[in-house]
Amino acid sequence: MPKLTFIGAGSSVFAKNVLGDAMMTPALQDFELALYDINPERLQDSENMLNNLKATSGSTCRIVSYSDRREALRGAKYIVNAIQVGGYDPCTITDFEIPKKFGLRQTIADTLGIGGIFRNLRTIPVMLDFARDIQDVCPDALFMNYTNPMAVLTNVMNTDGGVNTVGLCHSVQACIPHLFRALDIDQEGVQAKIAGINHMAWLLEVTRDGVDLYPEIKRLAAEKQKEKHNDMVRFELMLRFGYYVTESSEHNAEYHPYFIKRNYPELIERFNIPLDEYPRRCVNQIERWKTMREELVNDKNLVHNRSNEYASRIMEAIETNNPFRIGGNVMNTGLITNLPKEACVEVTCLVDRNGVTPTYVGDLPPQLAALNRTNINTQLLTIEAARTLKKDHIYHAALLDPHTSAELSIDDTIALCDAMIEAHGDWLPKFQ
């Protein structure tokens, strides 16, 4: 029986989307859905939920929970990864509260910046443990990574882990719908080309019937900037650098040195930047789960409509050889020619029986490549820190981070890194 393994299956809402999609897909009906999570209670919740969904959908997928990760992976053809190492408490709290003591404020802190660096450093060792198991018990599996920080973790799994990995993010899928709804433009018949790096990929072309829509988009965006709205950072970047970026304004506010600045507090108000946004979301999700759990886990009449998540579409395309196009995170094997070959990039990929095949982009506009490289610098140095266990490379990654370096001195940046290492304690490996 072919096997799809879900690591982090205690994320019940996301498991419902991804595995519910698999249960709705005819080509995947003979699969075992193998569930693994380090939290046995949440794992049991997801198993109950999926069994209810199996009963209402008539799916013939087999649902099996595992307490042993290696056995959950054994023989898997596909793996979905959706873990969060350290969770909200203590690690997300640490990622926000320690930098605040140094005057460094963040919005999301799961991709770049001090929060992103340390989220990587505590997650990479866990991911490489997965990779060692995969090499032993399912070396040919396709690893579909949904865990942030996407670019670094996907890079590490491909390079250091030796695992066939594609990173999957919602930002490419959401880019056009979000932009066009915000500007009240009809999306029907729109063609787009997107490429860059995760959370900073660019809408390079946007047309309808061969007509460039960017002039009208920018005209409407300039008008909209005259009033307060929730996408002001991205609109500002588009008007200054020429292109719309895929990930949200709250994310991009901390990927650049222009928006969150102690000496210019008026920028927070001007660009409507939600500081401490991710901790708020975490608290809300924890509270919401208390009421949602009963509805989701114990509903004998639970139903599911196939979502827009890429995972089931990828597996279906491989199983049936009916091609499907995705925005995927892959290694830069000459795909974007003015970004480093060591980087993980986000480009259009074609999926069929041959697997995930990325498409060639060529050069990005020079200003966009330059912005991407500021983030890639920190990503690659974070990987070097994880490989060598040298504190110096943690310092280098932080010193080259756009937001951190715009706010803190060298001495304060190093002191902050040391404070973060101490606060994380055993969540990190030992650095020298």
pLDDT per residue over 22-50, tens digit each? Answer: 999 999 999 999 999 999 999 999 999 99
Q: What is the C-alpha end-to-end distance of the chain, expressed in Å?
A: 46
Instruction: Tell whether the torsion through CA atoms of 333, 339, 344 and 350 is positive or negative.
Output: negative
Q: How far apart are CA 7 and CA 242, in angstroms?
A: 39
Contacts 24+ apart (CB under 8 A), 257-266: 257/402, 257/403, 257/405, 257/406, 258/406, 259/233, 260/105, 260/106, 260/107, 260/403, 260/407, 261/406, 261/407, 262/103, 262/105, 262/407
Upstream peptide bond of 149 is cis (omega within 30 degrees of 0): yes
Number of H helices, E strands in the chain: 17, 12
Q: How far apart are CA 289 and CA 12, in angstroms?
A: 10
Q: Which CATH number does the domain housing residue 104 bear?
A: 3.40.50.720
Do strands 3-7 and 78-81 pair parallel, antiparallel, or not at all (unpaired)? Answer: parallel
Whether residue 304 lies in the annotated active site: no
List phi, psi (to 5°) of 141. Answer: -70, 150
Is 148 part of a structural domain of the chain?
yes
- CB within 8 A of 100, min separation 6: which ones? none
Q: Which residue in 155, 212, 205 sits closest to 329, CA to CA?
A: 155
Is 325 part of a structural domain of the chain?
no
Cα angle value 186/309/331 (rounded, 5°): 100
Amino acid at 187: Q
Q: What is the DSSP letter of 76?
A: -
Q: How far apart are CA 383 and CA 77, in angstroms?
A: 27
Is 136 part of a structural domain of the chain?
yes
Is 3:76 a contact under the CB 8 Å cutoff? yes
Per-residue pLDDT at 218: 98
How many domains does the chain divide into? 1
Is 44 part of a structural domain of the chain?
yes
248 alpha carbon, distance to own chain's centre: 12
Within the chain, which residues score under 50 in pLDDT? none
Per-residue pLDDT at 290: 87
| Alpha-carbon radius of gyration of the chain | 21
Cα–Cα distances (Å) from 304 to 70, 112, 301, in that order, read 29, 34, 10
Strand partners, 245: 202
Percent with pLDDT over 90 in the chain: 97
Q: How far apart are CA 213 and CA 138, in angstroms?
A: 46
Per-residue pLDDT at 294: 85
Provide the residue range defining the domain that includes 28. 3-167
Per-residue pLDDT at 176: 97
Do strands 78-81 and 355-358 pair parallel, antiparallel, or not at all (unpaired)? Answer: unpaired
Per-residue pLDDT at 386: 98
Question: Is pTM beyond 0.85 here?
Answer: yes
Is 176 part of a structural domain of the chain?
no
Residue 234 tokens read as 């991205």
Q: Which of 170, 229, 251, 393 is catalytic?
A: 170
pLDDT in tens, 292-303: 898 899 899 999
Is 387 part of a structural domain of the chain?
no
Cα angle value 88/89/93 (rounded, 5°): 75
